[in-house]
Amino acid sequence: MNIALLKTELTEDPLTRDYSEMTDEAVAIDLNTVNRTLNRASMSGSEVLNAVNAAEWIGLTDAGRQTVWDIVHLGTLNPFGVEATLLIEVFGGGSATITALAAARKDDVSRAVELGLGFVYAGHIQNARM
């Protein structure tokens, strides 16, 4: 546990959660509550392919299908890279596929995970407040 980082979070309270008004237990619960999102660094081709809407796939041209097929076979994909731009071009910005991919490229996490702290216990809070 990075107590220095935890201490900074508690004293600076950048999200104005009012940690100073909470018990150690309440702070731990708050920090461990999943209510934040993080951008994923990578996705597999299979994850991308499984987000493709079947009806939209059927509606693609052969060239569009080939582009998607080529992208998903690159291996590890950058969900915010050129792959995303190409998929938007193929499916269109408002499509069900792009909406599904936009959701899939984010992970729901707790504030503690977002900070790189992992799971926080009340004892960690107590140590950081000393």
Q: What is the pLDDT of residue 75?
A: 87
Q: 22 pLDDT exceeds 90?
A: yes
Whether 91 contacts 24, CB under 8 Å: no
Q: 113 pLDDT exceeds 90?
A: yes
Vertex 111: Cα angle to 105 and 112 (nearest 5): 110
User: What's this model's pTM, rounded to 2 decimal places?
Assistant: 0.73
What is the tens place of the pLDDT at every residue in 58-111? 999 999 999 999 999 998 999 999 999 999 999 998 999 999 999 999 999 999
What are the backbone dihedrals phi and psi of residue 43, each rounded to the nearest 5 degrees, phi first? Answer: -140, 155
37 pairs with which residues across the strands? 108
